[in-house]
C-alpha cells in the first residue's frame, strides 16, 4: 500500500511570503500530524488532525495553521514567512488519534522549505 | 510542558563496538516509541514499549523502559555501518495532552 505522500518536496520562498504544504496519509489512516525538523531543535510537534478536527497543537505561533479534509488529506500553511521557518516539515499518519492509539507514526519524506 | 531529553547528541564508534542512547522524560509516560532516521531520510518506527520495566529485543537492538516509566534506552550490540543514522525516542504523556513528544535525537556514526 502507498505510503505517506508529501508535496512539494522542495521549495524556496522569500521572507513575508506564505506557503502551503500538502500531505496524503496512508489509505485508511485518519490521523495526520505535522512536525517541524531543524538541525538544532529536532522534531517539534506542530499539530494533529483527526476526522477534520484539530485535536492537539504544539507551541508554534498563529502563522502556522492547518486543516484536514474529509478524505483525510491535510494541508499546513505558514504565513508571513521568516528566515527561521526554514526547515524540513514532516507529515505523519496513523490509524487513530495519537493519544488514543498504541500504534506507530508513518512519516512522509517531508517538504524542505528554504526561506531567503 | 513535557520535555524529553536524549543523550548523547552524537556518538562516533568503530564498527563492532556497542552503542547506547538514553532518553529521559520530565513526566511519566504512557508509552515510548523509538524511531530511526537515516541521513537524508525520514523517521521510521522501530518499536514501542508500554509496560514498566519492559525489555524488548530486535536482533542486535535492545530497548528498555524504566520502572518509573520516565526513561528509556536503546542499546546496539556490535554496531554495523548500516546502523548509521539518528535515533529518536518519542514519549506520550500519561495524562492530559497526548501528542508524541520527540527527543532531540542521537546521531550515530559508525567507522568501518
Cα-to-chain-centroid distance, residue A100: 20
Q: Mind listing the pLDDT tens digit for each residue in B27-71? A: 899 889 999 999 999 999 999 999 999 999 999 999 999 999 999
- Interface test mutation site (partner B, options A60, A89, A104, A110, max chain B beta carbons within 10 A): A104
Pick among B97, B104, B105 to test the A interface (most A CBs inside 10 A)? B97
Specify the pLDDT at position A2: 79
Average pLDDT for residues B87-111, to the nearest whole number?
A: 86
Predicted pLDDT of residue A101: 56
pLDDT of amino acid A85: 97
Spell out which chain B residues touch chain A, with contact meaning CB-CB distance below 8 angstroms.
1, 31, 33, 35, 41-45, 48, 50, 88, 90, 92, 97-105
A35, B102: Cβ pair inside 8 Å? yes
Q: Are strands A10-13 and A111-115 parallel, antiparallel or unpaired?
A: parallel
Residue with cell 504544504: A21
pLDDT at A56: 86
pLDDT in tens, A54-106: 988 999 999 999 999 999 999 999 999 999 999 999 999 988 765 555 568 99
Q: What cell does A29 get?
A: 489512516
* Percentages (nearest 5) of helix, strand, coil residues in chain B: 5, 55, 40
Partner B contacted by A42 (CB < 8 A)? yes
pLDDT score of A1: 65
| Partner B contacted by A41 (CB < 8 A) | yes
Q: Are residues A99 and B98, on separate chains, in Cβ contact within 8 Å?
A: yes
- Do B88 and B100 contact (CB within 8 A), yes or no? no
Spatial CB neighbours of B18, under 8 Å, sequence gap ≥ 6: B75, B76, B77, B78, B79
Task: Kindly tell me the sign of the dihedral angle through the C-alpha atoms of B29, B67, B49, A90.
Answer: positive
A95 and chain B in contact, CB less than 8 A: no
Q: What percent of chain A has pLDDT over 90?
A: 77
Identify which of B43, B69, B65 has the alpha carbon closest to the alpha carbon of residue B54: B65
Amino acid at each position: 500500500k502507498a505510503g505517506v505522500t508529501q508535496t512539494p518536496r522542495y521549495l524556496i520562498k522569500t521572507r513575508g511570503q506564505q506557503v502551503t504544504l500538502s500531505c496524503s496519509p496512508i489509505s485508511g489512516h485518519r490521523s495526520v500530524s505535522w512536525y517541524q525538523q531543524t538541525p538544532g531543535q529536532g522534531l517539534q510537534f506542530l499539530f494533529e488532525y483527526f476526522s477534520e478536527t484539530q485535536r492537539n497543537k504544539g507551541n508554534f505561533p498563529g502563522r502556522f495553521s492547518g486543516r484536514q479534509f474529509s478524505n483525510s488529506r491535510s494541508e499546513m500553511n505558514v504565513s508571513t514567512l521568516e528566515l527561521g521557518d526554514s526547515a524540513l516539515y514532516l507529515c505523519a499518519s496513523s490509524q487513530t488519534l495519537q493519544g488514543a492509539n498504541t500504534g506507530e507514526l508513518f512519516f512522509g519524506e517531508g517538504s524542505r522549505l528554504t526561506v531567503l | 510542558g513535557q520535555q524529553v531529553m536524549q543523550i548523547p547528541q552524537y556518538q562516533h564508534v568503530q564498527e563492532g563496538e556497542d552503542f547506547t542512547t538514553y532518553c529521559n522524560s520530565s513526566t511519566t509516560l504512557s508509552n515510548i516509541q523509538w524511531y530511526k532516521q537515516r541521513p537524508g531520510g525520514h523517521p521510521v518506527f522501530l518499536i514501542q514499549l508500554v509496560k514498566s520495566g519492559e525489555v524488548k529485543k530486535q536482533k542486535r537492538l535492545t530497548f528498555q523502559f524504566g520502572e518509573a516509566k520516565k526513561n528509556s534506552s536503546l542499546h546496539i550490540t556490535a554496531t554495523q555501518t548500516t546502523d548509521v543514522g539518528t535515533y529518536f525516542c518519542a514519549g506520550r504523556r500519561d495524562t492530559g495532552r497526548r501528542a508524541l513528544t520527540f527527543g532531540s535525537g542521537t546521531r550515530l556514526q559508525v567507522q568501518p
